[in-house]
Amino acid sequence: MKNYYSYLLLLLSVIATAQAPANYYNNATGTGYTLKTQLKTIITNGHIDKSYAGLWTIYTNSAFRDNYYENDSSLLDIYSENPTGIDPYNYTSTSNQCGSYNSEGDCYNREHLVPQSYFDSFATNPMKNDPFHVFPSDGKVNGERNNLGFGIVGTANYTSQNGSKRGTMASSPYSTYTGTVFEPIDAFKGDVARAYFYFATRYESSMGSFYNAASSTTCQAKAMFDGSTNKVFSDDFILILIKWHLEDPVSNYEIAKNNAIYAYQGNRNPYIDNPSYVCMIWPSQCATVNSLNTSNFEAFANARVYPNPTNNHRINIDYNQTMDEIQLININGQIVQQIKNPTPQNTTYTIDNIPSGFYFLRLTHNNQSIVKKIIVN
């Protein structure tokens, strides 16, 4: 697993770096937090603040349009895009700007992935106006997320039409945080992580001031940070961000936006251009994530399925983590049952009313799948 991620990051680095202007990162020669400071200098030089209203302008750029999924040139919103099916609604023009809203699909607005309430007690510009972390998004979903941090949801109390959700943080080895968080769908988790890494780097010298001025009451996302200018993120969240960065690689959508924003305001997101920078700056945390990914998969692979064979048309699955999906597939390759986000009793998932036969049981957890054979008499 670790070698796979290392190879993947190297490959992505080679591909993505070709998008950056020649010599742009020539002075990024260090490692660790020294490298982050060097990147901060590079992406601060030339950065021109284009104002809050200017965000509406950059959102009309074709780079922010859906040229990747439906390919219909609608505004690509990470809270409404359905990468594997039809979008529940679309925004096709600037006339859909919020405004007031009551439901999803009413209008879109400017979503600060790092909430304004984290930095507006200290300063607002250019952070408020920076499209590298201010994404176009559905107004209703943006409001439901509010000022929450991003994390892995265990029990959801709100789910958007594309599957983004809000709820209490799941119990996992990646975090001990027990508060409420917001989780985007898998296809955009890397986008969110790299926006946070950008923010931590571009505004490195202000991170301590932001933290000291922010209130954890009015900005729950403060829990994502530790107040330092080097590590920046708290132990409860940095592993999650790195995990998302590794599992959801840089997309053509991100590369297109990076180039468009560079033309617009004069700087780039180095973690899109060179994904390997993340593990060069936070190496020990990356090593921890790789170790956890390996051990978690081994535990997942050993999930117990019983009784097998079964005589009562029921099987149980013992696994103490959140399961994303269970599929029961017959020998012809047809899906007989499909359960998304199944709910366990304690740590046991149960499938009832299975017709007699031979099946493959496909279990999915955190973008990883295993298949087990079962017999129903």
pLDDT in tens, 289-311: 988 877 676 777 788 999 999 99
pLDDT in tens, 242-288: 999 998 999 999 999 999 999 999 999 999 999 999 999 999 999 99
Vertex 86 angle, CA 81 and 89, to 5°: 60
Torsion of CA 322, 328, 334, 335, to 10 degrees: -50
**CATH class of the domain at 303-376:** mainly beta
Question: Residue range 146-158: average pLDDT?
Answer: 96
DSSP of 325-374, one letter per residue? Answer: EEEEEETTS-EEEEEES---BTTEEEE--PPSEEEEEEEEETTEEEEEEE
Candidate from 96-105, 185-194, 286-295 with smallest mean pLDDT: 286-295
pLDDT in tens, 210-239: 999 999 999 999 999 999 999 999 999 999
Residue 8 predicted with pLDDT over 50: no
pLDDT in tens, 317-369: 998 878 889 999 988 888 889 998 898 888 899 999 999 999 999 898 877 78
Can you tell me whether residue 324 is helix, strand or coil?
Answer: coil
What is the distance between the alpha carbons of residues 225 and 232, in angstroms, rounded to a whole number? 6
Contact call for residues 355 and 367 (beta carbons, < 8 A): no
Q: How far is CA 14 from the centre of its chain?
A: 22
What's phi and psi for 8, nearest 5 deg? -60, -45
What is the distance between the alpha carbons of residues 181 and 168, in angstroms, rounded to a whole number? 6
Query: Could you tell me which residues come within 8 angstroms of residue 277 by beta carbon, excluding any fewer than 6 positions away?
Result: 28, 35, 39, 270, 271
Residue 18 predicted with pLDDT over 90: no
DSSP of 18-72, one letter per residue? Answer: TTSPTTTTTT----HHHHHHHHHHHHHTT-----STHHHHHTTSGGGB--SSS-S
What is the distance between the alpha carbons of residues 297 and 8, in angstroms, rounded to a whole number? 18
What is the distance between the alpha carbons of residues 185 and 169, in angstroms, rounded to a whole number? 15
Residue 59 predicted with pLDDT over 60: yes
What is the distance between the alpha carbons of residues 295 and 315, in angstroms, rounded to a whole number? 25
**Percentage of residues in the chain having pLDDT higher than 70:** 94
DSSP of 202-260, one letter per residue? Answer: HTGGGHHHHHHH--TTT-GGGGGB-S-SSS-B-HHHHHHHHHHHHHS---HHHHHHHHH
Q: For residue 156, count other CB atoms closer than 10 A to its CB.
A: 15
Radius of gyration of the chain (CA): 22
User: What are the boundaries of each domain within the chain?
Assistant: 2-295, 303-376
Residue 373 predicted with pLDDT over 50: yes
What is the distance between the alpha carbons of residues 42 and 156, in angstroms, rounded to a whole number? 40
Q: How far is CA 374 from the centre of its chain?
A: 34
Average pLDDT, the chain: 91
At 11 the pLDDT is 43
* pTM confidence score: 0.80
Please give the residue that has the higher pLDDT: either 124 or 34.
Answer: 34
- pLDDT tier at 3, thresholds 50, 70, 90: very low
Whether cis (ω within 30° of 0) applies to the bond prior to 309 is: yes
If 0-12 CB within 10 Å is exposed, 13-18 middle and 19+ buried, where does residue 20 land? middle
Place of tokens 């090593």: 287
How many residues make up the chain in this entry?
377
